[in-house]
Amino acid sequence: MARIVIIAILVLSFIISLAQMPAHASESTPRSNLNTTPVIQLSACLTILDALYKDWQSTDELFKRGLGHLEINPVIRIVGPAPYFGVLMIGAATFCNESRDWKLSSIIIFIVQTVAVNTHVSIGTAIGGVPLMYFTVQW
């Protein structure tokens, strides 16, 4: 069930990003900007979704092993990992954009989720690895 939700979220974010692209990407970039120095930017939406998903995997494994009482977040202990992270990921996929505020939020979420996943390492439930920060390169 959780994998289906993740796939649906990723497809939805892809469709939203396609809808926001200009009709002809080559016409939107002036010729004078071609072959310039590359610009590397943080990809806020991918970073947020990856960080939430890695914590979701770890927390889900924690519950599967019958160790749900060790979860620090009381909301997750009450509703379970799938509804909690599902709502967060659907919200992030729906509303996230690459603005400055979302980039700052993605750094904060990345740090918080990395700490959360690291608490799962000692228990052995961090099955998805650590969250990753994603970057885009524009030429």
pLDDT at 139: 75
pTM over 0.85? The answer is no
pLDDT at 4: 61
pLDDT at 69: 92
3-state per-residue secondary structure call for the chain:
CHHHHHHHHHHHHHHHHHHHCCCCHHHHCCHHHCCCCCEEEECHHHHHHHHHHHHHHHHHHHHHCCCHHHCCCHHHHHHCHHHHHHHHHHHHHHHCCCCHHHHHHHHHHHHHHHHHHHHHHCCCCCCCCCCCCCEEEEC
What are the average pLDDT values for consecutive 10-residue runs of the chain, which has 139 residues?
60 57 52 68 92 94 93 93 94 90 92 92 88 88
